[in-house]
């Protein structure tokens, strides 16, 4: 693992002193160092495209080269501003991209990272963005930063540094707080206990998928009514909406995360023009990017409930802050005439007890589809 202090010294020596992006587990050490040491010059963005645009604005205002950090899955969110804002043929913005390389060929990563890992370098090539793969060697990393910053400044274009597993990682820690009594797992289980047994559940990227999966195992329940959105961060609620619109006779619940909901907040506006009373959107809100290290999000700084209400959801008017409040809110929103929304405030902190989520995606999705279409086992 690289020495974070030396890595940042190399960046600073090249005038790179502003950082923005979306935290990633492969960049956990980097992200936490930036958070601790550059609190005023580190902006955790809503999504990766947002970060590229923020970085562009910083360059326009200061003429100094910014750095945008992301997991390689976030390249999809960043393509538009990379190609149509900062490209050399548009406004020609120099910046460094620091990209965590999930799914690197030959590393045996999970299925949701495989394709993105295979195409990461090819995507950068198609965008005309030169790149260097960082090695776990402080001197070579310094040389890579020097070369990348020099190229970006000379050619006024982005340059990418790709970080394989372990190169810029660090201790995720637990980051537990006692702000609210409920954990994510407890909140999920209360919903399972309260709603009908045939309710369809979708869980967002990260810990929610694992906790739903292993709760079912612990309770001795089948998983045919569950969809685990192991990739595509921020899109679980849209998948849930598509199902709810097509299966009006089924209750459909999305267990979302605050960072995931913020990443594609525009999805909430769909309720302003749709009638989908069987859809319940629950944001499990701990105000953190917990799965990748606990870096803060804006989740508990904004009023999700007011936003959702303005977008056409039925709400209870305020966030849920404990177990009794959650059960009462679920009952209050039963039988509403439109989609419903709950902001459930939970505390930060990982249980540390859950094994990796290892299952057959092909088998799971077939069972889920069969269950939705009434063709499963009886």
Residue 357: C-alpha distances to residues 4, 20, 228, 311, 323 (Å): 30, 30, 10, 34, 27
The whole-angstrom distance between residue 3's C-alpha and the CA centroid of its chain comes to 26
3-class secondary-structure state, position 299: coil
Whether 173 has a pLDDT exceeding 70, the answer reads no
pLDDT at 376: 52
Tens digit of each residue's pLDDT (9 = 90 or more) over 239-263: 999 999 999 999 999 999 999 999 9
**pTM as predicted:** 0.94
Q: Are strands 42-44 and 67-71 parallel, antiparallel or unpaired?
A: unpaired
pLDDT at 175 over 80: no
Query: Is 50 exceeded by the pLDDT of residue 329?
Result: yes
Dihedral angle sign, alpha carbons of residues 217, 222, 223, 225: negative
Q: How many whole angstroms separate alpha carbon 246 and alpha carbon 263?
A: 25
pLDDT higher than threshold 90 for residue 353:
no
Whether the predicted pLDDT of 142 surpasses 60: yes
Query: Does 378 have pLDDT greater than 50?
Result: no
Where do the domains of the chain lie? Answer: 4-163, 184-372
Residue 294: predicted pLDDT: 87
Indicate whether 124 pLDDT > 60: yes
Write the burial class of residue 373 (CB in 10 Å: 0-12 exposed, 13-18 middle, 19+ buried): exposed
Percent of the chain with pLDDT over 70: 97
The pLDDT of residue 169: 85
Are 4-163 and 184-372 in the same CATH fold? yes
Alpha-carbon distances of 58 from 19, 42, 70, 123, 349, rounded to whole Å: 10, 12, 18, 25, 33
Nearest to residue 200, comparing CAs of 229, 234, 223? 223
Give me the DSSP letters along 193-257.
HHS-TT-EEEE-TTHHHHHHHHHHHHHT---TTEEE--SSTT-HHHHHHHHHHH-TTS-EEEEEE
pLDDT tens digits along 18-77? 999 999 999 999 999 999 999 999 999 999 999 999 999 999 999 999 999 999 999 999
Averaged pLDDT for residues 318-342: 97
The residue-averaged pLDDT of 306-313 equals 98
With bands split at pLDDT 50, 70 and 90, how would you rate the model's confidence at 174?
low
- Look at 109 and 228; give whichever has higher pLDDT: 228
Confidence (pLDDT) at 6: 97
pLDDT, residue 324, reads: 98
Given a cut of 90, whether residue 280 has pLDDT beyond it is yes
Residue 150's contacts (CB-CB under 8 Å, 6 or more residues apart) are: 14
Confidence band for 354, pLDDT divided at 50, 70 and 90: confident
If you average pLDDT over every residue of the chain, what do you get?
94
Name the CATH superfamily, with its identifier, for domain 4-163. Thiamin diphosphate (ThDP)-binding fold, Pyr/PP domains (3.40.50.970)
| Confidence check: pLDDT of 282 > 80 | yes
Buried b (16+ CB within 10 A) or exposed e, 241-255: bebbbeeeebbbbbb
296 to 15, 58, 66: CA distances (angstroms): 26, 21, 21
**325 pLDDT exceeds 90?**
yes
Q: What is the pLDDT of residue 168?
A: 96
- pLDDT-derived band at 377, boundaries 50, 70, 90: very low
Q: Phi then psi for 226, rounded to 5 degrees?
A: -115, 135
d(CA 97, CA 34): 15
Domain 184-372 has CATH 3.40.50.970: yes
């Amino acid at each position: 693992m690289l020495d974070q202090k030396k890595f940042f010294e190399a960046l600073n020596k090249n005038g790179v002193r502003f950082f923005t992006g979306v935290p990633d587990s492969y960049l956990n050490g980097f992200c936490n160092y930036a958070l601790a040491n550059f609190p005023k010059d580190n902006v955790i963005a809503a999504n990766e495209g947002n970060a590229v645009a923020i970085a562009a604005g910083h360059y326009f205002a200061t003429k100094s080269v910014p750095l945008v950090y992301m997991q390689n899955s976030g390249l999809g969110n960043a393509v538009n501003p990379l190609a149509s804002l900062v490209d050399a043929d548009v406004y020609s913005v120099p910046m460094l991209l620091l990209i965590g390389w999930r799914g690197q060929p030959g590393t045996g990563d999970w299925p949701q990272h495989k394709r993105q890992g295979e195409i990461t370098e090819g995507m950068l090539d198609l965008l005309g963005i030169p790149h260097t793969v960082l090695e776990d060697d402080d001197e070579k990393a310094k040389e890579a930063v020097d070369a990348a910053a020099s190229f970006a400044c000379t050619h006024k274009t982005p340059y990418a540094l790709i970080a394989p597993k372990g190169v810029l990682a660090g201790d995720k820690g637990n980051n537990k707080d006692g702000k609210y009594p409920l954990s994510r797992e407890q909140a999920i289980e209360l919903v399972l206990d309260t709603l009908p047994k045939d309710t369809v559940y979708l869980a967002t990227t990260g810990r929610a998928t694992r906790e739903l999966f292993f709760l079912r195992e612990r309770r001795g329940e089948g998983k045919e009514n569950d969809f685990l959105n192991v990739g595509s961060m921020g899109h679980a609620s849209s998948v849930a909406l598509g199902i709810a619109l097509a299966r009006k006779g089924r209750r459909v619940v999305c267990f979302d995360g605050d960072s995931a909901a913020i990443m594609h907040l525009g999805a909430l506006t769909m309720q302003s023009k749709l009638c989908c009373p069987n859809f319940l959107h629950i944001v499990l809100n701990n105000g953190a990017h917990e799965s990748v290290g606990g870096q803060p999000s804006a989740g508990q700084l904004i009023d999700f409930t007011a936003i959702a209400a303005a977008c056409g959801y039925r709400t209870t008017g305020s966030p849920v802050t404990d177990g009794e409040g959650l059960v009462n809110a679920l009952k209050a929103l039963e039988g509403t005439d439109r989609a419903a929304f709950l902001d459930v405030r939970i505390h930060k902190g990982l249980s540390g007890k859950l094994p990796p989520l290892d299952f057959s995606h092909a088998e799971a999705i077939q069972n889920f589809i069969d269950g939705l279409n009434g063709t499963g086992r009886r």
